[in-house]
Structure 1
Amino acid sequence: MKKSTTQQKGSPPLFKNQLLEKFTHTHIAYPLLIFYGGGLGLLAYGGVMMGISVINLLVTFTLGLLLFTFVEYWAHRKVYHMIEDKPWKARFTYTFHGVHHDHPKDKSRLAMPPVVSVLIIALLFGLFRLLIGDYAYGFLAGFIAGYATYLFVHYIVHAWRPPQNVFKLLWVHHAIHHYKDNTVAFGVSSPIWDVIFGTMPRKKRT
C-alpha cells in the first residue's frame, strides 16, 4: 500500500450499495461493548456453568490475548500492507485499510460494524470449541478482549490528543506508522512483535 499524500477527516463511500456502505461505519462504543462483554460472558459461563477452574480460564485467557497481538501484527503487516502487484490487491488493501490511512480522523471507520463483530465471535467460538474443547471459553475470551483493547487504543490515537499516561507510548508508536513511515510500527495494542521481527521505528531501535 502506497503512503498517503492526503490525510483528511472525512472519508469517501466505498460501496455504491447504500446498505453495504452503511455497514462500513459504526460508533466505537458498540464493538467495545460487544467484545469486552462477550469476553466476560465467556469467562462467567465457562466458570459457573461449565465448571472450568479459575487457573484454566486465566491461562487460556492469557494465551488467547497473546495470540491476538500476533494476529493483529501479522494481518496489519502482511495483509493490509501486502504488495499491490495486482489490481485486486490494490482494491482490497484500499477498501480494508488504505482508506483509513487516507482519512485517519474518520471515527466511524475505526472498527467493524456490530453485525460483523457478532458473526466473527460466533465463528471463532465454533472453531476454537472444535479444536480445543472447553479451553475455548478462556481462550476466545482473551482473544476478543485483545481485539477490544486494540480498538480502544486505535481510537485513542485517532480521536484524542496524546494522553499523558501509559497510553502515550502506544499513541506515539501508531502515529509514527500513520504519519511518518507505514513500513514500521505495525503493532497497535502492543509493540512486542515489532521488537521481535525488527519493525520498530528507527529511533526506537537505537
Structure 2
Amino acid sequence: MVAQERFTVDLNKPLVSQVGHLGEAYDEWVHQPIVTKEGPRFFESDFWEFLTLTVWWAIPVIWLPVVVWCISMSVSMGHSLPEVVAMVVFGMFLWTFIEYILHRFLFHMKTTSYWGNTAHYLLHGFHHKHPMDHLRLVFPPLATAIICVFFWNLVKFFATPSTTPAVFGGGLLGYVIYDVTHYYLHHAHPTISVTKSLKKYHLKHHFRIQDKGFGVTSSLWDIVFGTLLTTKAPKRDQQN
C-alpha cells in the first residue's frame, strides 16, 4: 500500500481553506511559529479578510464607552460608589477566570478533522503560528460582541437587575485590559519587573510549553489548576 503524501501548506496562498487538510499533522504545524510582524492572507475575499484585521487601539476606543455606560446604569439604579466599585472588581475577577477557561479549553482544543482544524485556526491557532501578526493580536469587535452576549447572560443568571450592568462592565473592563496587555507583551519592551515577568511568562507559553501558562494578565488560575509554567523546559524546534 502506497503511503498517503503529507499535505503541505502554501504560505503564499490564503491559509484558512488549507489548514483543515493537515489532519493529524495540524497540531504540530500550528505550533511551529513564524515570527514576522506581517501576517499571512486568511481569505480570498477582501471582505472576510478585513473582518480578521484589528488595530490594537480599537479595543479601548470601542469598548471603554460601553464599560462606562454599563457602570453608570448601576449608579443610576441607586447603588453607592463603594458598592459599584465592588461590583466592577468582582466582574474583573470573573473575567480572569473566563480568560483562563477560554484559553485552556477552547483555544487549545485538540483537533484533527477538516472543520475542527479550520475552526481552531480561526479561534487561536493562527496566533501560535504567527504570534507577532500585529493586526491579529486582539479580538475582532464582532468576536468580542459574541462573547459579550454570553458574558451578559452569565452575569444576569446570578446577579440582580441593578447589579448586572456594573458586574458586566467590570468584566468587559477586564477584557480590555487583557487584550491591550496581550498586545503589549508581544510588541513592547517592558522596563518594569511586573511587565517583564508577564512578557517572559507569556512568550514561554508560545515558544516552549504550549499546554501550560494559559493566564495572560495573571498566573492565578494556572496556580489553582496546576498549569503553572515551570522554570525550565526543552525548547521546541522552530520550523516553518
Same fold? TM cut 0.5: yes
How far did residue 129 of structure 1 move? 4.2
Q: SS of the counterpart of 1:139?
A: helix
Q: 1:75 to 1:121 in 2, by over 3 A?
A: closer
Structure 1 residue 39 and structure 2 residue 39: aligned?
Answer: no
- Could you say what the CA RMSD is over the residues aligned between the two structures, in angstroms? 2.2
Q: 1:164 to 1:130 in 2, by over 3 A?
A: closer
Preserved CA contact (<8 Å) 1:128 1:136: yes
Q: In the alignment, which of 172, 197, 220 is matched to residue 169 of structure 1?
A: 197
Q: SS of the counterpart of 2:231?
A: helix
Which residue in the other structure is 1:87 paired with?
A: 114
Identity within the alignment, %: 29
Preserved CA contact (<8 Å) 2:73 2:166: no
Which residue in the other structure is 2:227 paired with?
A: 199
Unpaired segments ≥5 residues, structure 1: none
| Greater percentage in helix | 1
Q: Following the alignment from structure 2 to structure 1, what is the Cα–Cα distance between the partners of residues 50 and 81?
A: 41
Preserved CA contact (<8 Å) 1:153 1:170: no
Which residue in the other structure is 1:104 paired with?
A: 131
Q: Summarize the alignment of residues 121-200 of structure 1 with structure 2, pairs less than 5 Å apart.
A: 121=148, 124-125=151-152, 128-129=155-156, 132=159, 133-200=161-228
How far did residue 118 of structure 1 move? 4.8
Q: For each residue in 1:21-63, what CA deviation from the matched residue of structure 2 results, as whole angstroms up to 9, or x when unmatched?
A: 101011111112222332222212321x222222332222122
Aligned length: 203
TM-score, normalised to structure 2, is: 0.76
Give 1:28's aligned amino acid: W
Which residue in the other structure is 1:74 paired with?
A: 101
Q: SS of the counterpart of 1:25?
A: coil
- Please say which structure displays the higher CA radius of gyration: 2
Q: Following the alignment from structure 1 to structure 2, what is the Cα–Cα distance between the partners of residues 177 and 128?
A: 30
Give 2:221's aligned amino acid: W
Q: Following the alignment from structure 1 to structure 2, what is the Cα–Cα distance between the partners of residues 120 and 193?
A: 20
Q: Following the alignment from structure 1 to structure 2, what is the Cα–Cα distance between the partners of residues 21 and 145?
A: 27
Q: Following the alignment from structure 2 to structure 1, what is the Cα–Cα distance between the partners of residues 210 and 196?
A: 19
How far did residue 115 of structure 1 move? 4.5
Preserved CA contact (<8 Å) 2:39 2:134: no
Which residue in the other structure is 2:15 paired with?
A: none
Q: 1:83 to 1:115 in 2, by over 3 A?
A: closer
